[in-house]
Chain A
Amino acid sequence: MVENRPFLTFLTHAFLILGFLVVALPVYVAIVASTHDVSTLMSGPVPLLPGSHLIENYSTILTSAAAAHGLPNYSHMALNSLIMALAITVGKIAISILSAFAIVYFRFPFRLLAFWIIFVTLMLPVEVRIMPTYKIVADLGMLNSWAGLTIPLIASATATFLFRQFFMTVPDELLEAARVDGAGPMKFFRDILLPLSRTNIGALCVILFIYGWVQYLWPLLVTTDPGYYTLMMGMKRMVTVQDGVIQWQLVMAGSVLAMLPPILVVVFMQRLFIRGLTETEK
């Protein structure tokens, strides 16, 4: 059916544009705010047009602003965020693809139970189990360490579930052909399952990198050493100043910069995505 109703087209576009504005406006305001000086921001309504302090604000946040709040360098915090996000991404994918492999391809006692236990953890976000998790991490002496920052966030039901669903669509004959061809379980995993999962891994990389990048509550709890501060924590700390003026223009500049890595990941991985989608494997 070919639709040719100008009014409907107008209406759908109007909704689309409205929705876009609602989503994009805060980001726009943040970008605009990062180009003004502090007195403009403090003196009344938030300006909607860019100001003239762009270079000044961004060079300040990149060089000295964080230190003034007792924080490590911006680049140091960015590196921390990057390490944490990457560790979570890689760790989650590695763990979940292996556990999905075990659940789908091996027969062992309580296999289904194991799957359901993993699945049930989906119902419990990090925040709900944050107390017991903190207790365990503290007892294991993992406070203020990379292990403490990342490991509790690595065990992932979502990714395991996704890989399980994908593996179940892989025809059994492929496994059988590989067996006849002399491939053992790990060889089959490496030579056949892993290349076939490329698209899924790509998609999960994007989702998990962003998940790791925006972690706030957990790093806040387990790290007291500023050496481990991540960008999200740093930005928050810059907002909580006692007896002073919040340097909103710097906070906004820092936030805008912090948005860049996830955007880059999405843009870069999207090309992999589309390639994975157009070159269907079956």
Chain B
Amino acid sequence: MAGIHISEVSKIYTGGVKAVSSVSIDIVDGEFIVLVGPSGCGKSTLLRMVAGLEAISAGEVKIAGRVVNQIEPAERDIAMVFQNYALYPHMTVYNNLAYGLKNRGTPKAEIDARVAEAARMLEITQYLERKPRQLSGGQRQRVAMGRAIVRKPAAFLFDEPLSNLDAKLRVSMRGEIKRLQRRLGTTSIYVTHDQLEAMTLADRLVVLNGGQIEQIGAPLEVYHAPASTFVASFIGSPAMNLVKGELHGDKLAIGPAMVALNGFAPTSGSVTVGVRAEDLRIARDDEEALPFRLEYTEELGAQRLIHGTVGDQQITAAVSPEIALSPDMRIAVDAKRLHFFSIETGKRLPGNVPAEAKLAPVEPVI
């Protein structure tokens, strides 16, 4: 068990392309960190540098207080779960699990015990004598996790481990990974491009874009107070509405409409306004509202997404399916649910405090 300290780490490829630039993350012992971002954002590269599969161009990675920059992957006391599982195809499940231990000269009896324990934990005991090709995707995934568990490493590194599974299996494996990590209490770094996976698994999220950290925070923190328009549009589904607006004193102008801010205006002038689809509602007759021209709807069952325009800007709102729709509607939003971002930098404007400051604490379930 150990913390991982990533300080000012960069990856610069020949030719000067920066895949990762000056990333610092402090991961405490037992924490589940998810690196999330679009493809090419450097999240996998960062993980592979922690694993020792890529050389670190600049900066320092410490695992359990020890600088590991020059240390071979096998000596770093980490275990990795790969996207395509990377099981040894010619070895039985037992040998796949035991290989790393054998290479370390672990006594046979202990290997047996550890493999049996991991197999029981993952419910793959009856498959120990099979070859990987005789297993289904989900079972292979379990074997890949088992290979990481038997080693009892200081940290687990997951490189998009669920992206080869079908949607249903992904959800159940997601739960299993979370449960297992809680139970073992092993520090974990998990890479994914799926924001839902990131939200559900993470103790803390690290949102990466273009090799740089956009935001680090607990999932709800990131959700309710995105640090930039990039984070705002990346985390959450449907993506946060981002529209151009104009602040006039305590009023916000969006296209033709005005919204009273009741003292929530952080600045004045042009801003990018962000609003979550679920924070929009159908306006009462007596309040200020945005004129909404309905274009099409998407049914999600519990919710209905209505897509349309306010002025000339696209807006998506999530409403109850019971609400009657008409081509021209009026929608409203509470001023405290608005997010304001700088037009130039896309960063969240100072003074724009997150609305959901008080969240019910979630008791960790073991």
Contacts and interface: CB of A to CB of B under 8 A. Distances in A.
B51 A180 contact: yes
A171 B104 contact: no
Given A171-B86, A173-B82, A180-B79, A281 B100 contact: no
B99 interface: yes
B73 A173 contact: no
A174 B88 contact: yes
A176 B104 contact: no
B53 interface: yes
B72 interface: yes
Nearest to B151: A181
Contact of B74 (A171, A181, A196): A181
A195 interface: yes
Interface string B135-178: 00000000000010000000000000000000000000000000
Interface in B78-93: 78-80, 82-90
Main SS of the interface on chain A? helix
B100 A182 contact: yes
Nearest to B100: A181
Interface in A160-201: 171, 173-174, 176-183, 187, 191-192, 195-196, 198
Interface residues of A, number: 21
Contacts of A280: 133
A177 B84 CA distance: 11
B93 to A, nearest CB: 14
Given A176-B82, A181-B74, A196 B90 contact: yes
Contacts of B88: 174, 177-178, 191-192
A282 interface: yes
A185 to B, nearest CB: 11
Nearest to B88: A192
Contacts of B84: 171, 173
A174 B74 contact: no
Contacts, number: 65
Nearest to A181: B100
Interface in A248-282: 279-282
Main SS of the interface on chain B? loop
B345 interface: no
Contacts of B133: 279-282
Interface string B85-111: 111111000000001100110000000
A77 to B, nearest CB: 40
A173 B83 CA distance: 9
A187 to B, nearest CB: 7
Interface string A196-209: 10100000000000
B226 to A, nearest CB: 33
A180 B103 contact: no
Contacts of B103: 181-183, 187
Contacts of A178: 88, 99
Contacts of A195: 90
Nearest to B53: A176
Contact of A176 (B80, B89, B90, B147): B80
B23 to A, nearest CB: 21
Given A196-B90, A282-B89, A180 B83 contact: no
A54 to B, nearest CB: 47
A280 B89 CA distance: 9
B82 A182 contact: no
A173 to B, nearest CB: 4
A174 B273 CA distance: 47
Given A187-B103, A191-B99, A280-B133, A179 B86 contact: no
B86 A281 contact: no
Contacts of B78: 180
Contacts of B79: 180
A277 B165 CA distance: 26
A181 B74 CA distance: 6
Interface in B9-60: 51-53
Given A176-B80, A179-B73, A180-B52, 8 more contacts: A176-B53, A180-B100, A181-B103, A182-B100, A183-B103, A191-B99, A196-B89, A282-B133
Interface of B: 51-53, 72-74, 78-80, 82-90, 99-100, 103-104, 133, 147
Q: Considering the complex of A and B, which 7 residue pairs feature the smallest CB-CB distances, nearest first?
A: A182-B74, A173-B86, A181-B100, A182-B103, A177-B86, A195-B90, A281-B89
